[in-house]
Chain A
Amino acid sequence: MTAAAEPALSPSAAAAPSARPLLAVNNIEVVYADVILVLRGLSLAVPQGQIVALLGANGAGKSTTLKAISGLLKTEDGAITRGEVLFDGQPVHGLEPEAIVRRGIFQVMEGRRIIADMTCLENLRLGAFTRRDRGQVPADIDMVYQYFPRLKERTGLAGYLSGGEQQMLAIGRALMAKPKLILMDEPSMGLSPFLVQEVFHIIRQLVSDLGVTILLVEQNARMALQVASYGYIMERGKVVLDGTAAALAQNEDVKEFYLGGGGGEDRKSFKNLKSYKRRKRWL
């Protein structure tokens, strides 16, 4: 499969978050094990039908943010101690993870996390666990196979799939739940640049075809800003910068810290390199 029919970059329908976003995270504070403060007053909004990227260095709290939204925080002894998470205007913080999945938020966890001792088909069927319209499931499995044709050829255990195929399976499994919002944690992890292209291409297609909304956490900032319409940049548990993806991609600081290069003309000379240290943190 090639990325031949690659459409132009996502339309800049982005703009600022609309009046009532699908997901609104308002000033949440997250504490692990009652003592470790990880998120300190984080807010973000994800409008319907768009891809929003959440970027930041390791340990900034990106994955924690996703787990706070999906409720999986509870499985790791974490809790939201302040603030609120509104989904479709309804508060979802404090609900059990399974209740949040039923509301329509599905998290694709970091590192794929497919069920290795089941087949692809069984993994996909599991994705539809919370669905009420069970008659529709076989048709949806076919739909997933259309997006990821190579999954159909794999009849063995999912544990023997390659990394890229596992990622595709993880995304396919998320689609089977028919969620309104998919939280994607590092879909590019451990994939070759070509596969990253392919996966992101499909993610963009999913958004335009199916109208799902995606909150995307990525280390690969360049790729993420290409597909996203809006972006947030986190540092030490807070959002420090946000804007349309195009604006962020042009921002000198973002270029310098996440995209490589950048820094303007004066960076060309070694004698100016001190500026790097001075501006390393925004805070």
Chain B
Amino acid sequence: MDWTLFLQLMINGLIVGALYGVVAMCFVLIYKASQVVNFAQGEFVLIGAWVCWFFLTKYQIPFVWGFLLTLVFMVIFGILIQVVVLRPMIGEPVISVIMVTIGLSIVFQALMKWAFGVFAQPFPPIFERESVAVFGLEVRTVYLVSLLVSVGIMAGFAYFFKATRMGLAMRATAFDQQVAQSLGISIRSVFAMAWAISAAVSAVAGVVVGVVNGVSSALSFIGIKVFPAVILGGLDSIVGGVLGGIIIGLVENLAHFVDSQWLHWGNLIEVVPFWVLIVILMIKPYGLFGTRDIERV
């Protein structure tokens, strides 16, 4: 047994899992607010990363400004997608809406390849120091920052939904649209806002992964990994999405460890999350935190 490798993989799992958790939250946000299963979530991640890369390399602007511009871009992008593509689909059958988001995913995937090419592109170096020492362990700065960013986003979400007026309005809309309207909440703006937040936060995850691995169309794999995470957590639970993401991140790295030490099947890391997905659907279809309605009359 190689304990250093094990520890390394678990830390990897935690960091990647936190990123899955962030994207899963975005997915759940859209699903809860507007009942749309967004198959294009991974492409939001991809677009965010490419746009940020574009600002940084083509215009040579400082990272902070490029990053903020990317967020602004993604907010507008999310609202546009919702208003132009999804709003006319309100009231259509679920399967039609799913087909639309799958379509969006394919279009954006191709569009990004067309615009930026098929090869992975590295981000310009952002941090002065490659790695920092934490408790005697050398940790790459990007990983540390990535974990901090993920935790920061999660705390931000928690604050938003607990304490802000719009956060409460979103929860109310998710619970019962008619009641939300009776309270004076415009569900159109709630929908648009959910998509805007979701797109912008996904982009943050995209930039982080892009900084670590470089940007390429492979980045949208996060969108696929998000499914096991949200199913595990319960499709409509934000907390569930976060935990599901972290668990999936740990499990796939654990599988990688087992694979590399004993089994030598290869690529178990890619497959195991989907085994989890299938098992969860069979034994606990609501996931860990999925709602069963409170009913008391």
Give A residues with C-beta under 8 Å from B: 70, 72, 75-76, 96-98, 101-102, 106-107, 109, 113, 115-118, 122, 125-127, 129-130, 134, 157, 159-163, 173, 177, 190
Across the interface, do B184 and A115 meet the contact criterion of CB distance under 8 Å? no
Across the interface, do B296 and A118 meet the contact criterion of CB distance under 8 Å? no
Across the interface, do A72 and B169 meet the contact criterion of CB distance under 8 Å? no
Across the interface, do A129 and B185 meet the contact criterion of CB distance under 8 Å? yes
Across the interface, do B171 and A115 meet the contact criterion of CB distance under 8 Å? yes
Of B169, B181, B291, the most chain A CB neighbours within 10 A belong to B181
A57 to B184, CA, bound (A): 30
Which of B165, B184, B295, B297 touches A177 (beta carbons < 8 Å)?
B184
Across the interface, do B179 and A117 meet the contact criterion of CB distance under 8 Å? no
Across the interface, do A72 and B178 meet the contact criterion of CB distance under 8 Å? yes
Across the interface, do A75 and B181 meet the contact criterion of CB distance under 8 Å? yes
B176 at the interface (CB under 8 A from A): yes
A72 to B185, CA, bound (A): 12
List of B residues within 8 angstroms of A177 by Cβ: 183-184
Give B residues with C-beta under 8 Å from A: 165, 168-169, 171-172, 175-179, 181-186, 291, 293-297
List of B residues within 8 angstroms of A163 by Cβ: 296-297
Contact of A101 with B183 at beta-carbon distance under 8 Å, contacts A116-B294, A126-B169, A160-B294 already known: yes
Which of B168, B176, B297 touches A125 (beta carbons < 8 Å)?
B168
Q: How far is the CB of B289 from chain A (nearest CB, A)?
A: 12
List of B residues within 8 angstroms of A116 by Cβ: 175, 293-295
A97 to B188, CA, bound (A): 12
Contact of A117 with B291 at beta-carbon distance under 8 Å, contacts A129-B165, A159-B296, A161-B296 already known: yes
List of B residues within 8 angstroms of A107 by Cβ: 182
Q: How far is the CB of A63 from chain B (nearest CB, A)?
A: 12
Contact of A159 with B295 at beta-carbon distance under 8 Å, contacts A72-B178, A75-B177, A115-B176 already known: yes
Q: How far is the CB of A171 from chain B (nearest CB, A)?
A: 13
Of A113, A126, A162, the most chain B CB neighbours within 10 A belong to A126
Contact of A129 with B184 at beta-carbon distance under 8 Å, contacts A109-B179, A115-B171 already known: yes
Across the interface, do A122 and B294 meet the contact criterion of CB distance under 8 Å? no
Which of B172, B176, B184, B294 touches A101 (beta carbons < 8 Å)?
B184
